[in-house]
Amino acid sequence: MVQRECKATETTGQSSATRSLPDLCSLQNHTKGGLWAALEIEASIPPIHIQLKQQITRCAIRFNKLGSTNPIMQRLPDTWREGLKPTAPPPLPPKLYNHSAADSRRTSPLLDIAADRSVPNSSMAKDNNELWPSCKELISELTKSNQNLLVYSDGSLIKKSGFSRTGAAAVVYHEGREINSEKMGIGERAEVYDAEMAGLMMGARMAVKYARSHPQINNIYFFADNTAGVRAIFNPKPRTGQLYAARFHKKICHFLDENPEHQMSVSWCPGHTNIKGNERADELAKEATTLQWNAPIGTTRAHAIRWAKLSSERLWTREWKAAAQAGAGPRPWEAVTDGSGFKYREPEPAKAGPKPRLSGRAGPGNHYLPTILGTRSGIQALTTFLQKSCAFTMNGQRPEERTPPLFDEEPEVSESDDDDP
């Protein structure tokens, strides 16, 4: 979010519920760029040209991840395909219609088959202390059987001397013993999410390899402390971290297809709660941040998208700081304080000289909404302000004074009933 210049405006440091009424009324005149720029800052919505630039950058990132045979890439200039000419798209497969069984499913996608044979994921609690006892009991119960293989994975990002380093790790346990572990240095152009996905992918590779050499293993349980990675790792569709998810999906599907009794589960476990496997994976992931880059991806999509957003925020900040300090002439009424409360008076004529730096307040003193709307003097001053400032009028002019009706001028009403002739 763009950093607000609280010293220049002094209105952004307070919540909207406690701002003074003069601050809100003078927001348009005392902010850079006028009312629209102020509303964009308050709503955290960048200007339209910055939003368009960010969307164009995100679109270019998406195109960079497409293959050269993609229909979209075929319609872009040759530079997008490294100078290759566009090729004719293959013919679409014929569509077969079966009117006798229109609602029946002849085949089941592999994802559905794998999901049906997998163990349901553990529930994800918002508080670590809420799930920690049940998770620890589950792990203790699973460790007793030699048919279960437990995999813990974690990712880490460390910033040092202005540079970030990302690492991933996975560790495999069988009957309470650590049998294998692996680390990967992902480099500085990746996010923690990429490291979490890479850790799950490495865990799947080690677990499937070990399970094939030990036929008694039928169940593989994955534990990670990142909810986004847990939900996305078994979905190979195009998204952030797709390469790691596709490899994880391929390994696990092969394991599930080898034996109908094979099962798999990906569950979330609370981090830093003294769970042995999770603490070990966290330790290895921090060590992996010091390794040389050996990941299959250089700049990840998550990192590119984050930098696109960060560039938009920096551009917005530069434009905001470079904008001229706005200001309007003297307002018809300004707030002043006295001993008992506050009131409104007409301002003194402006003196010639350099334009003063506006503070964003309507006058000296701090007048907040509880004072204005919660006291008799505040309500009276607010009424006077609305009347003499012509606020909430269609033409911005003071309405004509209306004389209240007199009792003697009221028309006489007949006392007879309406039903009488």
User: Over 90: is that where the pLDDT of 239 sits?
Assistant: no
* Widest Cα–Cα separation across the chain: 109
Residue 387 covered by a domain: yes
Q: Is residue 89 part of a domain?
A: no
Looking at the fold, whether 121 and 22 belong to one and the same domain comes out as: no
Give the tens place of pLDDT for each residue, 28-40. Answer: 454 555 667 777 7
- Tell me the average pLDDT across 248-260: 92
Does residue 104 fall inside a structural domain? Answer: no
In a shared domain, residues 228 and 330: no
What CATH number corresponds to the domain at position 193?
3.30.420.10
Residues 146 and 189 reside in one and the same domain:
yes
Q: Mapped to the 3 state alphabet, what secondary structure does 90-144 carry?
A: CCCCCCCCCHHHCCCCCCCCHHHHHHHHCCCCCCCCCCHHHHHHHHHHHHHHHHC
Identify whether residues 209 and 309 lie together within a single domain.
no
pLDDT band at 214 (very low <50, low <70, confident <90, very high): very high
> In terms of domains, do 120 and 38 share one?
no
> 3 pLDDT exceeds 70?
no
Confidence (pLDDT) at 396: 67
CA distance 173 to 104: 43
Domain assignment of residue 415, yes or no: no
Same domain, 336 and 194: no
State whether the Cα torsion 43-48-50-54 is positive or negative.
positive
Task: Tell me, yes or no, whether 284 and 364 share the same domain.
Answer: no
Could you tell me the CA-to-CA distances from 313 to 137, 200, 308, 310 in Å, in that order? 46, 32, 9, 5
Is the pLDDT higher at 6 or at 212?
212
Task: Answer with the one of 270, 292, 314 that is the final residue of a domain.
Answer: 292
The answer to the question of residue 260 being in a domain is: yes
Same domain, 160 and 15: no
The more confidently predicted of residues 127 and 42 is: 42
- What is the average pLDDT across 341-368? 46
Domain assignment of residue 105, yes or no:
no
3-state secondary structure of 324: coil
End-to-end CA distance of the chain: 76
- Mean pLDDT, residues 246-262: 92
pLDDT grade for 130, boundaries at 50, 70 and 90: low
CB burial of residue 281 (10 Å; 0-12, 13-18, 19+): buried
Answer whether residue 154 shows pLDDT above 90. Answer: yes
One domain, residues 221 and 303 = no
Same domain? For 195 and 223 the reply is: yes
Q: Which amino acid is at 205?
A: R
Report for 89-93, 129-133, 180-184, 346-350: range of highest mean pLDDT: 180-184
pTM of model > 0.85: no
Is residue 273 within 8 Å of 132, Cβ to Cβ? yes
Average pLDDT over residues 145-154: 94
Domain ranges, residue 370: 6-32+326-391
What would the pLDDT profile of 309-338 be if each residue is shown by its tens digit? Answer: 999 989 988 888 887 655 444 444 444 545
Residues comprising the chain, all counted: 421
pLDDT given for residue 341 in this prediction = 45
Q: Considering only CA atoms, which of 144, 159, 281, 308 is closest in space to residue 222?
A: 281
Which one has a higher pLDDT value, 110 or 154?
Answer: 154
Same domain, yes or no: 180 and 72: no
Range 4-13, long-range pairs (CB < 8 A, 24+ positions) = 4/41, 5/320, 5/321, 8/32, 8/325, 8/357, 8/359, 8/360, 9/359, 9/360, 10/359, 10/360, 10/361, 11/360, 11/361, 12/41, 12/42
Residue 406 lies in a domain: no
User: What's the total number of domains in the chain?
Assistant: 3
Res 238: pLDDT:
80
Give the integer Cα–Cα distance in Å for 66 and 61. 9
Same domain, 249 and 385: no
- Residue 95 reports pLDDT greater than 90: no
Provide the 3-class DSSP secondary structure of residue 403.
coil
246 three-class SS = helix
Mean pLDDT, rounded, for 138-153: 92
